[in-house]
Amino acid sequence: MNLLDKKLIDVLGVWACLLAAPAMAQSPEPTDVSPAAGSSTAERDCFDFSLLTPGTRYELGDTVQAAHATITMRDYLGSRAPADSRGVWIANTRLAGGTAPELRTYLMNAQVMPDVPVREVTLNIAEASSGGAAPHANIEVNGDRYEVIGGLAGINGTVIGNSAAGNAAVFVNLAPAAVGNWNVGTLELHATKGTIESFAFGGLQVFLNNICFVK
């Protein structure tokens, strides 16, 4: 290498360093980012019915051990139908959303008792809106059962639960399904006093799936 070539390389090296400096200044070391204002850090536990066998039927008093909760089949307010015609099934359908199977209730309540008391509950729900009878359902919070006539949307904003454990406000967001006579959406419980130790849902035809708790 002659002297001219060596000088040229030295000059190019200096310019390369000068050009790289601004780019390096724009790449600071990563830092921890604080959560956005209003973001929730509450622990959230969810479960569905994907591990249960489609076609399984439960009668009064039967229990199911789910993740994070125990489900017990309870009696239903407002029905004179014979007990042997009512029940809760694991249905191989997706009416409420999520993956099959899901829980179908027919004039019987599925009472859910979380492993520990919770502050909020959310679930996917599908409610029969026609088919020869007006929509009819039950809802329960902390042992206080409430008979719903005319569809679950009618109790949006209602506070249920008069026990010492506390009560909860009900929020219902249902819309007619694109196909079929079903109102489909979500139902939420938000504790307004104390906590939610148990809750139940059932109906003339009510399907449930994707139940989540916020502790």
pLDDT in tens, 106-146: 999 999 999 999 999 999 999 987 655 678 899 999 999 99
| Strands in 48-198 per DSSP E | 57-58, 63-66, 69-74, 87-91, 102-106, 109-114, 120-128, 136-141, 144-149, 159-163, 166-176, 182-194
CATH number at residue 125: 2.60.120
Domain that holds residue 169: 44-214
Q: Is residue 35 part of a domain?
A: no
pLDDT (0 to 100) of residue 94: 94
Q: Is residue 3 part of a domain?
A: no
Which of the pair, 83 or 134, is modelled with greater confidence?
Answer: 83
Q: Is residue 1 part of a domain?
A: no
pLDDT digit string (tens) for 138-190? Answer: 999 999 999 999 889 899 999 999 778 899 999 999 987 666 678 899 999 99
| Cβ count near 108 (within 10 Å) | 27
**What is the number of domains present in the chain?**
1
Give the CA radius of gyration of the chain. Answer: 28
Average pLDDT value for residue range 190-199:
96
Q: Is residue 36 part of a domain?
A: no
First to last CA, the chain: 74
Rounded CA separation 28/159 (Å): 51
